[in-house]
Amino acid sequence: MLCAITAALLLLGCSPGGDRGGSGGTADTGTFDFAGNTPLGQLVPVDARQSAPAFAGELLDGTAFESTSLAGDITVVNFWGSWCAPCRVETPEFQAVYADVRDLGVRFLGVDVKDQRQLAQAFVDANGVGYPSLFDPRGEVALAFRGFPANVVPSTILLDRAGRVAAVYVAVVPEADLRRALDQLLAETAEDIPR
């Protein structure tokens, strides 16, 4: 069974190296522990969401970044690489969605993995990406999300306004599916989100 899941994850995204694979279940601490991907366009039920880990790093432009700056906003965290063919399809679609929702309390954060800074910046420039990306050549941000398959690129994690993992997609996310998931998150009220 584990071999079948690992093979499926590798087929869904680019993978330059060995996959850590998904493991786990819900952690007793309520922090995120990867147990599997979310069907495209769908969300984890509000009462089953787990807190995202804190992470930090350096943006492609050299600016320091801390995940605490995302507090209170819905966030799309997208793991990508300039070497990843499916990312060339997904990134322009993510930029189009970002342009439509950035003023609605939705943030986008790219996480460039296993890459060279110059190639990553050229990819961002060529695709007209307006949202920031962390430069994470060793994949440390993905490793902060316990059990998350760090080598499956592209992958996307959606965080709700409370900083909890609302969806995990380990494949290309078509624009329509991303919009549907974000519409659901935007429709959640303050009463829906535990404090």
Q: Is 72 exposed, middle or buried, given 0-12, 13-18 or 19+ CB atoms closer than 10 A? A: exposed
| Spatial contact of 49 and 164, defined as CB atoms under 8 Å apart | yes
Q: Which residue has the higher pLDDT, 36 or 153?
A: 153
- Encode pLDDT of 48-58 as tens digits: 999 999 999 99
Domains of the chain with bracketed CATH: 2-192 (3.40.30.10)
| pLDDT at res. 127 | 96
pLDDT band for position 35 (cuts 50, 70, 90): confident
pLDDT at 100 over 80: yes
pLDDT at 191 over 50: yes
Q: How confident is the model at residue 11 (pLDDT cuts 50, 70, 90)?
A: very low
